[in-house]
């Protein structure tokens, strides 16, 4: 794992955007997009570079990580609508190149298989942007998710439903979702996880320094050959090897 320690959310966004931009400059790319607060500064910076520095997304195919079951794509709280509102509608990524699992599919099991196969058919994800849940989930792979899992239907953990309750009228938080699996995420050629704030600090420590364990689904990134973890000071605050990460970052930045 490569750990990048930043001073602020803006710097986290800039470092993540650097990685995305470097890949886009090489030609057509497949991006994996996370929703949530964590990647907001990354998307803001990519939008700025699109507007001010002509960074183009016209050759990008994008797959979102996950979707609530039961919500049609055009529902205000669907992740399809969310990623459009927060990122896609502000850049030149053609809408037909934005792919999300269909949360309102009649057969969710078949839809999950179809989505996983579509990622493979697109040549796999070049850069997967990830946030992390306070319980260590990535995508909606809740604790005890199989480390080899593919895109599938999952039951949301109570803690995740509580975190997301603010987006729904009382009693209407979905209980099921479709999510790329941990094996699917592990197949991405590069994984870029951004984490901000103190409430992520324990999950970040478990992911980076804890045992490889389905209890902390994000720890699957320990098995990834090109995982980059970008942290603000609060999210990094529980790490025990900070001096080592700082030194490695300094040397790496000189390469």
Binding positions for ligand GLP, rule: CB under 6 A: 34-38, 65-66, 131-133, 139-140, 160, 164
Q: Residue 26 Cβ, how far from ligand GLP at the closest point, in Å?
A: 26
Nearest CB to ligand GLP, comparing residues 23 and 154: 154
DSSP assignment letter at 96: G
**Of 37 and 94, CB closest to ligand GLP:** 37
Q: How far is the CB of 247 from ligand GLP (least distance, A)?
A: 28
Q: What end-to-end distance do the CA atoms of the chain give, in Å? A: 17
Cβ closest to ligand GLP, residue 178 vs residue 239? 178
Tell me the closest approach of the beta carbon of residue 162 to ligand GLP, in angstroms. Answer: 11
Please report how close the Cβ of residue 134 comes to ligand GLP at its closest, in angstroms.
7
Count CA atoms within 13 Å of residue 189 on its CB side: 14
- Of the candidates 30, 22, 45, 115, the residue with the CA atom closest to the CA atom of residue 73: 115
Residue 77 DSSP one-character state: T
Q: What residue is closest to ligand GLP based on CB?
A: 131
Dmax over Cα atoms in the chain, in whole Å?
52
Q: Which is nearer to ligand GLP, 203 or 255 (CB)?
A: 203
Q: How far apart are CA 141 and CA 153, in angstroms?
A: 10
């Amino acid at each position: 794992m490569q750990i990048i320690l930043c001073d602020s959310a803006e710097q986290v966004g800039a470092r993540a955007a650097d990685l995305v931009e470097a890949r886009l400059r090489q030609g057509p790319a497949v991006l994996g997009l996370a929703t949530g607060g964590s990647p907001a500064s990354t998307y803001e910076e990519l939008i700025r570079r699109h507007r001010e520095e002509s960074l183009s997304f016209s050759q990008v195919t994008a797959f979102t990580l996950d979707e609530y079951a039961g919500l049609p794509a055009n529902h205000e709280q669907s992740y399809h609508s969310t990623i459009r509102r927060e990122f896609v509608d502000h850049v030149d990524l053609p809408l037909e190149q934005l792919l999300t699992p269909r949360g309102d599919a009649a057969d969710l099991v078949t839809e999950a298989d179809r989505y996983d196969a579509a990622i493979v058919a697109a040549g796999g994800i070049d850069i997967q942007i990830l946030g992390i849940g306070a319980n260590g989930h990535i995508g909606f792979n809740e604790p005890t998710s199989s480390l080899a899992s593919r895109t599938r239907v999952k039951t949301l953990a109570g803690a995740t439903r509580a975190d997301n309750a603010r987006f729904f009228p009382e009693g209407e938080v979905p209980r099921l979702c479709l999510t790329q699996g941990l094996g699917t995420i592990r197949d991405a050629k590069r994984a870029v996880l951004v984490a901000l704030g103190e409430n992520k600090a324990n999950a970040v420590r478990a992911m980076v320094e804890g045992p490889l364990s389905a209890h902390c689904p994000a720890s699957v990134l320990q098995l990834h050959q090109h995982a980059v973890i970008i942290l603000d000071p609060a999210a990094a605050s529980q790490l025990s090897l900070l001096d080592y990460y700082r030194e490695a970052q300094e040397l790496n930045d000189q390469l």
